[in-house]
Amino acid sequence: SITEETVELLEPYLDMEDYNLETAKKVCGNVAGLCSWTQAMAYFYGINKEVLPLKANLALQEGRLAAAQMELNSAQNQLDEKQVELDEVQAMYDTAVKEKQALLDDAEACRRKMSNASALIEGLGGEKLRWTASSKNFQNQIVNLVGNVLLATGFLSYSGPFNQEYRNLLLQLWKKEMDNSKIPYSKNLNLTGMLVDNATVGEWNLQGLPNDDLSIQNGIIVTKASRYPLLIDPQGQGKIWIKNKEKNNGLQVNS
C-alpha cells in the first residue's frame, strides 16, 4: 500500500540529521521503532520499485519458458516418433540392401555358371566327332572281340617255337580260315598292343629284354601262356631278363 506520494512526503523527514534510530531512542523507544520502520519502508519501496518490473518480466519469461518447454516436449515427442519410424525404415533399407547384394551375388554366380556351361558346351561340341568315332570303334571292338581273342590265344598257344616270319604266316593263315568261317576280327589287329601295355614293355626293357618285336612277343608268350616256356637262348638275353624280372620273387637258379 506504500505509494510514491507517501515516500515523497517522507523524504523531508528522512533527510533530517536527527531523524535516525539513535536520536529517537533518546526521546522514546516507540518513536525509535517507528523512525526505523519508516526508513526501512522507504528503502524497501525504492528497491521494490526496481524489482517489480523484474518480477513481471520474470513471470513473463517463465510463461514463455513454459510454452517453449511444452513446444520442446512436443517437438521431442515428434522427434522420438520420427526416430522410431526412421529406425524402422533404416532396418527395412538395410534388409533391402542385403537382399539386393544377395541377388547380385546370385546373379554373378549364375553368370559364371552360364559362362562355364557355355564353354563346356562349346568344348563338348568339339568332342562330339571324336566321341562318335570312339563309340563306333568300341562297337567294332565288341563285334570283333571273339575273333581277336581267337587270334591272341592261337598266337600264345602255337607260335612260340617259330621265328617272326613264320609267326606272321600263321596269323595270315588263321585270318583266312576265319574269313571263310565268317568270324569277325579286327583287320589291323596288333597282338602286342592287345596282350601287353607300353608300361610293362618299358619295364621289361629296363630288366634286359631287347626292344624288337620278336623279343617282346617272346616276353608275352613267357608271361601269358599257360604252359611252361622253353627258351632257346644262345645269347643269354632271355636268361638275363628272367633273372632281373624274378629277382624280387626269390628266384633260385641252378647254374
Cα torsion 18, 24, 26, 28 to 10°: value is 150
* The predicted structure's pLDDT at residue 30: 78
Whether 216 contacts 201, CB under 8 Å: yes
* The predicted structure's pLDDT at residue 97: 94
Domain 145-245 fold is Histone Acetyltransferase; Chain A (1.20.920)
List Cα–Cα distances, 174 to 182, 218, 253, in angstroms.
Answer: 12, 20, 38
Long-range own/partner contacts, residues 50-54 (CB < 8 A, 24 or more apart): none
Q: Residues with Cβ < 8 Å from 151, sequence gap 6 or more?
A: 171, 174, 175, 178, 185, 189, 191
What is the spatial distance between Cα 122 and Cα 120, in angstroms, rounded to a whole number?
Answer: 5
Determine phi and psi for 66, rounding to 5 degrees.
-60, -45
184: exposed, middle or buried (C-beta count within 10 Å: 0-12, 13-18, 19+)? middle
What is the spatial distance between Cα 64 and Cα 54, in angstroms, rounded to a whole number?
Answer: 15
* The predicted structure's pLDDT at residue 26: 78
* The predicted structure's pLDDT at residue 126: 67
* The predicted structure's pLDDT at residue 56: 87
Rounded CA Rg of the chain: 64
Q: Which residue has the cell 643269354?
A: 236
Q: Of 235, 86, 103, 43, which Cα lies nearest the Cα of 218?
A: 235
Our CA angle for 136, 138, 143, nearest 5°, is 95
* The predicted structure's pLDDT at residue 16: 83
Element (H, E) at 36: helix 29-158
List Cα–Cα distances, 254 to 152, 238, 239, 243, 251, in angstroms.
Answer: 33, 16, 12, 12, 10
Q: What is the DSSP letter of 184?
A: -
User: pLDDT 10s per residue in the chain (255 long)?
Assistant: 788 888 888 888 888 887 777 777 777 777 788 888 888 888 888 888 888 888 888 899 999 999 999 999 999 999 999 999 999 999 999 999 999 999 999 999 999 999 998 888 877 776 767 777 777 777 877 888 899 899 999 998 888 888 889 999 999 999 999 999 999 988 888 888 889 999 999 999 999 999 888 899 999 999 888 888 888 888 888 889 988 888 888 888 876
* The predicted structure's pLDDT at residue 47: 86
End-to-end CA distance of the chain: 156
Where in the chain are the domains?
145-245
